[in-house]
Amino acid sequence: MSKKIYFLIVQMALLSCRKSYNPQVLSSPNSFLVVEGVVAAGQDSTIINLNRTVRISRSNTANPESGATVVVESDQGVKYTLTEGKKGRYLAPPLNLDNSRRYHLLIKTTDGRTYASDYEPVKITPPMDSLYYIINRDNAGLTVFINTHDPSNSARYYRWDYTETYVYNTDLTSYFIFDPDQFSDTLKSVLRKPDQMIDTCYVTRHSTSVLLNSTAALTQDIIQSNPIEGIPDTSERLKIRYSVLVKQYALTREAYDFWYNVKRNTQQIGTIFDVQPSEIPGNIHCTSNPSEPVIGYISVSTISQRRIFIDRTELPGWIFPLPQCNPFSECWLRGSPVASDLAVGNVIPMGQIMPADCNLDGIPRPGYAVKVAYYFCADCRYHLNGVTAKPSFWK
C-alpha cells in the first residue's frame, strides 16, 4: 500500500468520526427579562428599558419587551406609572421624589408575569466639577475626563454614561431628487429644497462601556481626571464638530458591586489571565415565579450632567481619511424604463437627467443619462442612523 493511499484512508476514517456539535446554549428556549435604567429622583426623566434575552443562534439581537405595565412605588405606597415610547422603552417626566423615602420598580408583562426590584434609598449625586478634554501626548487623538467631588463624603460610589453627537458629511453632495412622477424625462431629477438636503447629518451614539470609580478607600470623596472616552485623531467624530453629554450617578455599595461584576464579565475577559465569568446577582426578582432569573439592577438617585463641544478648529492639524466615493453615469434608452438602480433608490442623482447617446451594446442609441452616486455616498441618513434635523442643544 502506497503512502498516499494510506494517508487517504486515514483522512477518510477521521472525517467519518466527526460529529457536528451544537451546544445546548445555542438553542436554549429561555428568554429572560433584562431591566436597565435608573429611577431619577430629581428633575430628570426616568427611563427604563425592558428587553428579553435571545438565543445565541439568532441573528437578530433586539428583543424589546413591549406592552408591559411599569410602575415606580414608594415604601408608603405612592405610585408613579411610566408610559411606553419606543418598543420596550418606558418613560416618566421628572418625579420629584421624596429623598427620605425608599422606592422600587414594579413590572407586569403582557403574559401576566410580575417582577419587582428591591426597595432602594435615594442617592444624592453631587454635581460634576468639570468636563474637559486633553490632547494625548503622542498627538494621536484626545481623551475626555471629568472631575467631581462630594463635600458631604457620602456619595463614594460612582457610575457614568455618555451620549455622543457629531456632525457627519457625506463624501458627495446631491442637489437633485429623482422624481418618477414628472412627465418629462429631463425633469425627472428636480432640485432639492433646503430642507431636503441629505449631505449633513447629526449622528448620535450611546456609550456601551461600564464606567465606574469609587473613593471608598480615600479620606475625601474626590475624583480627579477620571477618563470617560478616548477618541483617535482619525475618527470621523472629530472631523467637523463633536459634543458629548456625560451623566453621573451616585450608587449604593450593592449597586456598585453589580456594575463592577458586569464590567469584569464583559470588558475584562479574553485571556487565561483575565477574570472568569461569574454570576451577576441583581436586585430584581420575578414575583410570579421566584426561580426565573432576571437581569438588572435598579438604582434610585438624582443625576448630574455636563456637556462639552469640541470643534475641529480647536484641534491640531490632524489629517482625516480622504473621501472614497466617486460619481458615475447611468444611461438608458429612450422608451425604456429608467435605470433600475435609480428607480429603486440604490443610487442618487448628482445632476439633472439629460438626453444622451447610450452605448449599452456597442451601438450608440438615443437615450438619457445622469451622473449618480451610491446612496451611502450621498445620503447621510444611512450612516449610523443619522438625522438631518439639528438637535435643540446644538450650538
pLDDT higher than threshold 90 for residue 287: yes
Distances (CA, A) of 51 to 94, 110, 265, 383: 23, 13, 19, 25
pLDDT higher than threshold 70 for residue 132: yes
Sorted by sequence, the CB contacts under 8 Å of residue 56 that are 6+ apart come out as 25, 26
What share of the chain in percent tops pLDDT 70?
A: 88
**Which residue ranges make up each domain of the chain?**
28-117, 128-170+202-276+301-314, 176-199+325-382
What pLDDT, on a 0 to 100 scale, did the predictor assign at position 88? Answer: 98
Q: Which set of grid coordinates corresponds to residue 59?
A: 441573528
pLDDT higher than threshold 90 for residue 341: yes
Q: What is the DSSP string of 318-380?
A: PPPPPP----EEEEEETTSPP-HHHHHTSEEESS--EEEEE-SSSS-EEEEEEEEEEHHHH-G
Q: What is the CATH number assigned to the segment(s) 128-170+202-276+301-314?
A: 2.60.40
What pLDDT, on a 0 to 100 scale, did the predictor assign at position 112? Answer: 97
pLDDT higher than threshold 60 for residue 19: no
- Phi then psi for residue 160, to 5 deg, are -130, 150
Q: Residue 266: pLDDT band by 50, 70, 90 thresholds?
A: confident
The region that residue 334 occupies, defined by phi over 0 for left and psi between -120 and 50 for alpha, beta otherwise, is: beta
What pLDDT, on a 0 to 100 scale, did the predictor assign at position 7? Answer: 45
pLDDT tens digits for range 49-103: 999 998 765 666 789 999 999 999 999 999 999 999 999 999 999 999 999 999 9
Mean pLDDT of the 176-180 span: 91
Higher pLDDT, 339 or 379: 379
pLDDT higher than threshold 80 for residue 315: yes
What pLDDT, on a 0 to 100 scale, did the predictor assign at position 135? Answer: 98
- Range 28-117 has CATH code 2.60.120: no
Q: Reduced to 3 states, what is the DSSP secondary structure of residue 304?
A: strand
pLDDT higher than threshold 70 for residue 25: no
Average pLDDT over the chain reads 90
Q: Residue 269: pLDDT band by 50, 70, 90 thresholds?
A: low
H-helix or E-strand spanning residue 257: helix 253-267
What pLDDT, on a 0 to 100 scale, did the predictor assign at position 145? Answer: 98
Sorted by sequence, the CB contacts under 8 Å of residue 315 that are 6+ apart come out as 135, 142, 238
- Taking the CA atoms of the chain, what radius of gyration do you get in angstroms? 28
Q: Residue 233: pLDDT band by 50, 70, 90 thresholds?
A: very high
- Phi then psi for residue 47, to 5 deg, are -130, 120
pLDDT tens digits for range 353-371: 999 999 988 899 999 999 9
Assess whether the region 28-117 and the region 128-170+202-276+301-314 belong to the same CATH fold: yes
Which amino acid would we find at residue 354?
M
Distances (CA, A) of 98 to 76, 86, 251, 294, 302: 11, 28, 17, 28, 11
pLDDT higher than threshold 50 for residue 9: no
Neighbours of 72 (CB within 10 A): 24
pLDDT higher than threshold 70 for residue 28: no
What pLDDT, on a 0 to 100 scale, did the predictor assign at position 5? Answer: 44
Sorted by sequence, the CB contacts under 8 Å of residue 263 that are 6+ apart come out as 209, 210, 212
